[in-house]
Amino acid sequence: MATATQDSKTNEQLKIADQYGAHNYHPLPVIVESGEGCWVTDVEGNKYLDMLAAYSALNFGYSNERLIAAATKQLNKVTLTSRAFHNDQLGPFCKDLCELTGYECVLPMNSGAEAVETAVKMARKWGYKVKGIEEGKAEVICARGNFHGRTTTIVSFSTDAQYRDGFGPFTPGFPLVPFGDVAALEKAINKNTAAFLVEPIQAESGILVPPDGYIRKVRELCTKNNVLFIADEIQTGLCRTGDRFAWQHDGADARPDAMCLGKALGGGVVPISAVVSSRAIMSVFNPGDHGSTFGGNPLACAVGRVAVDMIKNDGLDKRSKELGTYFKSKLQAVGATAVKEVRGRGLLIGVQIKENYPKARWFCEKFMDDGILCKDAHDDVIRFAPPLIIEKSDIDWAMERIGPVLMSASANG
């Protein structure tokens, strides 16, 4: 268990990071040195239960034997070829991912933001070359409150003031509609609309779950208007929400035209992302149109193949659904007056704190002192998203500490 007092090793590391690192993050003051399963150990030897899982990148936990073995084996063969040549891992990775997702074609990149940028380029070119939109006028509609990444193009369609402050001028062509509002989307669609890009659950905005049937209605509306439906499943996909992909909560007929994937795709070992779609849509790309030096590198693909196999065969979707229901019910049963709502799907859960209570960061710091690591989403939501391999006993252990902290908060405190 962690202690509230920071010792010399922690302070030394914090000073080094503060002196030499850019201050673009405000992490909790814990210095992780090692991890195994759902647990990490800091430089002082204190153990913590990780209930963030690197924003879902660590769905399989730390030091997973199969993933580490795949990485080690590939490290001793070849790690990078660039796309100037073929490598023996890329083709099989694309095949495995297509079989997992049910799509026909994969374009691999590195980060989630790169996957979204790829999807935007794909949608625009499809709009011009296939749908016949006048050059320079293609629009990709997005939802308010979205978080798709931090590139200059992507922050152009963010509604978070901090993500945009000081980074203009912004890229045009991204009308915004309220999240979960099908009528507003229908009104926004016009002859220049190439695509609608949306997260099935808005995680960064506070684990916002849309009304039942929303994704299915989006699918119907996009089909009716010859608009691509692109789901950003970078954080919600790969079993995080209790289904293999979060759009599946609305049924098989809600299938998007394309998905952006990332985070857990690399098993928490290496960065890898991808856009998956049909061959017809992806065929708008010609050699030289788009690429990445590290995209599809053999190391990432070798690890990604194991991650895909585990998603396909290890029952993590069922585990996420069952344990998520259990965890959410436990959080709701606390009955803390500070809590406005507990919401989410699977093991993606948000605890919203009432306005006149301490900010969510305060709770996260208290949890850290008790040996639990989690993260605030904006100022008022505590995000719990542990590795999908978490045990019921770990949740019980955490609740023995989470409950008292939630109950201890006082209004205007």
- Which pair of structure tokens corresponds to residue 114? 């790169």
- For the chain, what is the HEC assignment? CCCCCCCHHHHHHHHHHHHHCCCCCCCCCCCEEEEEECEEEECCCCEEEECCHHHHCCCCCECCHHHHHHHHHHHCCCCCCCCCCCCCCHHHHHHHHHHHHCCCEEEEECCHHHHHHHHHHHHHHHHHHHHCCCCCCCEEEEECCCCCCCCHHHHCCCCCHHHHCCCCCCCCCCCEECCCCHHHHHHHCCCCEEEEEECCCECCCCCECCCCCHHHHHHHHHHHCCCEEEEECCCCCCCCCCCCCHHHHHCHHHCCCEEEECHHHHCCCCCCEEEEECHHHHCCCCCCCCCCCCCCCHHHHHHHHHHHHHHHHCCHHHHHHHHHHHHHHHHHHHCCCCEEEEEEECCEEEEEECCCCCCHHHHHHHHHHCCEECEEECCCEEEECCCCCCCHHHHHHHHHHHHHHHHHCCCCC
* d(C-alpha 5, C-alpha 1), whole Å: 12
Kindly state the average pLDDT of the residues 249-256: 98
Is this model's pTM higher than 0.85 or not?
yes
Please tell me the number of Cα atoms within 13 Å of 279 on its side-chain side: 4
pLDDT single digits (tens) 190-212 = 999 999 999 999 999 999 999 99
Mean pLDDT value across the chain: 97
Q: Catalytic annotation on 147?
A: yes
pLDDT digits (tens, 9 = 90+) for 82-110: 999 999 999 999 999 999 999 999 999 99
Q: What is the CATH number of domain 65-313?
A: 3.40.640.10
Q: Which of 125, 263, 328, 366 is catalytic?
A: 263
- Look at residue 321 in the predicted model and tell me its pLDDT: 98
Q: What is the mean pLDDT of residues 70-77?
A: 98
Count how many residues are written for the chain: 413
The predicted structure's pLDDT at residue 412? 81
Stretch (H or E) spanning 227 = none
* pLDDT tens digits for range 323-380: 999 999 999 999 999 999 999 999 999 999 999 999 999 999 999 999 999 999 989 9
Share of the chain above pLDDT 70, in %: 98
Compute the chain's Rg from CA coordinates.
21
Q: What is the pLDDT of residues 328-341, one digit of tens each?
A: 999 999 999 999 99
Residue-level pLDDT at 230:
99
- Residue 27 has φ and ψ, to the nearest 5°, of -75, 160
The residue that leads in pLDDT, 397 or 378, is 397
> Would you state the pLDDT for residue 378?
87
Active-site residue (options: 42, 50, 232, 243) = 232
Q: Does residue 402 register a pLDDT over 50?
A: yes
Rounded mean pLDDT, 70-83: 98
Return the pLDDT at 2. Answer: 45
Name the residue ranges covered by the structural domains of the chain.
Answer: 8-63+316-408, 65-313
Spatial distance between the Cα atoms of 161 and 182, rounded to a whole number of angstroms: 25
pLDDT digit string, tens, across residues 294-308: 999 999 999 999 999
Mean pLDDT computed over 27-32: 97
136 is written with which tokens? Answer: 């320079």
263 labelled catalytic: yes
| pLDDT per position as a tens digit, 1-11 | 444 445 789 99
Give the pLDDT band (50/70/90) at residue 413: low
Same fold, 8-63+316-408 and 65-313: no
Q: 3-class SS at 197?
A: strand
Q: pLDDT-based confidence at 171, cuts 50/70/90? A: very high
Q: What percent of the chain has pLDDT over 90?
A: 97
CA torsion 50-56-62-66 (nearest 10°) is 160
Q: Is the CATH code 3.30.70.260 the one for domain 8-63+316-408?
A: no
pLDDT of 234 strictly over 50: yes
Return the number of other C-beta atoms located less than 10 Å from residue 200's C-beta. Answer: 28
Nearest-angstrom CA–CA distance, 367 and 52: 12
